[in-house]
A and B are shown apart, each in its own frame.
Chain A
């Protein structure tokens, strides 16, 4: 049974339609990440699930109940926001307890829950401070704590780490992952940061223009992107794209352009291509091999090294192949100099092939 089911959801602001006919199912205990560039409708979708935005059409079910017309507080959800949105003049304890006090929970119960949440997030010693006296990371911990005390089945995160610096972001990312492992609750997490998405998610929904482009595990999204948008949005540096055509030789499909002639026997076609079809070949920088002697049946192209970017763990080499600029990720131990000549090749089985016209994966 799905913990959250979104059916035919449509949301628009005035004349601007943000979401149309959106379908989404989230499994019990799953960590789903909504990923996309700003303005893609991911936050709108989250707000609609939370009940903060009235949908124009469609239904939202949480835990098997149709909650489309429920108040946010009755949906059994907790939410964490980008700006932390703490009550500024209350202490941390007050922030955690306020919602429970209003809900008229017994005092002992409130105390127990606040204590537990504080313990869990290591903020016990901060309980009597005010938000202004806390750092960004501590504030976000408190915001998570305020969500935690609600004992909700579903947690919604709206870009919770976007206001933090890189180091804290990595720290809290781990914390959120731990939170999910220990609570086992269903979580939906909105972000535009692909690293967050790939590290946290059980499944990722990549969105653009109010439409879910692809829904799948991080591996699926990364290795077999469903279309050009997903392929170019995920990965840094981004996937290399090379224009070319499909050619049928005997009963073997080949990818061909001025430089490459690649036999595609190992490529798992989702739908059969046709002879002469214009395509884009996509290869991730780390799937390109440098200077390895081509095995029989493989191919090799000459490349001129243009720039070398060491990133520490590995090195990104930008080289020129014919008119194309191609990035290659190599081991940091491998010494490559600018203006050197290289022989580069790749495994066609790990490449992606897209129809040039529609941008869909072949």
Chain B
């Protein structure tokens, strides 16, 4: 038993060690440290839930959490809608499909830092879009969401959607291409308009791919840090703070390792509590399908 595939096991051992030490080990260390009063350097005392209590008393943390959910919802929904529309558009056998696909996918090749910078310029009222339209002659045009406390988080979402929808498009387009052409013929004979087909027939077929997109995009949403730093740096005020930025700030600038690790642990728990049921559902479905196939 032990000797089977020995070469493969030996080859995999370093990787297994790295996973155990770096990933699992660091998670455990973070978890342990969140129960200490560590400041600049980690200490190993035990202060119970103190750091967590302080965390949830902090307005900035609460706002960060709220922002994460607002940004996540707008970002995921926006990417799915825009990505699906772009996929549908390309699936109409348009000319220059490859070029368009590259253009749509291109933003995804850029880092969030670059994306954030570009959109910061674009949305800056005195430099970007608003100024451009005003110079065209529409003097009263106003688009200043980025400096508006209530709307600034949505500008981050817009930049995120610009970045992520090409990726959704690529995934859904592959799904659209896999759909039986005869279904479209049937829909023509049944007289079903294309938009109803896309919503009521095609979307359910693509559901597994949509779920994959939601999965990957929510990971992006939770760990979003660079895009906020580049675009608004959390401002105006704390209007666009997000949890990942909170962790980074407390870890380095504020030299409060205890608080930072507590925040990181809360983030981890949130991710697990969202991901676990989804993963469970999926494996459950797979089992049922393979059972039905017998």
Contact = CB atoms under 8 A, between A and B. Distances in A.
Contact of B188 (A73, A88, A146): A73
Chain B interface mostly helix, strand, loop or mixed?
Answer: helix
A55 to B, nearest CB: 16
Contact of A132 (B185, B189, B193, B292): B292
A71 B196 CA distance: 17
B204 A102 contact: no
B180 A85 contact: yes
- 9 closest pairs, A vs B, by CB? A73-B191, A99-B190, A89-B204, A85-B182, A81-B182, A72-B188, A85-B186, A72-B189, A85-B183
Contact of A71 (B185, B188, B205, B292): B188
Given A102-B196, A132-B292, A133-B292, A87 B191 contact: no
Given A88-B205, A89-B205, A132-B292, A83 B182 contact: yes
Contact of A102 (B182, B183, B185, B190): B190
Given A87-B201, A89-B204, A102-B196, A73 B189 contact: yes
A77 B189 CA distance: 7
B79 to A, nearest CB: 23
A52 B190 contact: no
Interface string A63-105: 0000000011110011101110101111000000011001100
Contacts, number: 64
Contact of B192 (A50, A79, A98): A98
10 contacts: A47-B185, A72-B189, A79-B189, A83-B182, A85-B183, A89-B204, A90-B204, A98-B190, A99-B190, A150-B189
A68 to B, nearest CB: 16
Contacts of B186: 79, 81, 85, 146
A89 B189 contact: no
Given A89-B204, A102-B193, A83 B180 contact: yes
Contacts of B193: 102
Nearest to B196: A102
Contacts of A102: 190-193, 196
A47 B201 CA distance: 22
Contacts of A132: 289, 292
B191 A103 contact: yes
B177 to A, nearest CB: 16
Interface string A181-212: 00000000000000000000000000000000
A150 B190 contact: yes
Contacts of A73: 188-191
B185 A79 contact: yes
Contacts of A81: 182, 185-186
Nearest to A73: B191
Interface string A110-142: 000000000000000000000011000000000
Nearest to B190: A99
A146 B200 CA distance: 17
Nearest to A77: B189
A169 B191 CA distance: 29
Interface string B261-294: 0000000000000000000000000000100100
Contacts of B292: 132-133
B190 A82 contact: no
B182 A89 contact: no
Interface in B158-196: 180, 182-183, 185-186, 188-193, 196
Contacts of B189: 50, 52, 72-73, 77-79, 150
A47 B204 CA distance: 27
Nearest to A87: B201
A98 B201 CA distance: 10
A78 B189 CA distance: 7
Interface string A41-56: 0000001001110000
A73 B185 CA distance: 10
Contacts of A90: 201, 204
Contacts of B185: 47, 50, 52, 79, 81, 85
Contacts of B191: 71-74, 99, 102-103
Interface string B189-217: 11111001000110011010000000000
B106 to A, nearest CB: 32
A137 B43 CA distance: 71
Contacts of A88: 201, 204-205
A133 B186 CA distance: 21
A87 B204 CA distance: 10
B192 A82 contact: no
Contacts of B289: 132
Contacts of A150: 189-190
Contacts of A83: 180, 182
A43 to B, nearest CB: 11
A74 B205 CA distance: 27
Nearest to A74: B191
B287 to A, nearest CB: 15
A6 B200 CA distance: 35
B194 to A, nearest CB: 12
Contacts of A52: 185, 188-189
A235 B110 CA distance: 65
A79 to B, nearest CB: 5
Nearest to A132: B292
Contacts of A77: 189
A82 B183 CA distance: 11
A72 B205 CA distance: 24
Contact of A99 (B182, B183, B192): B192
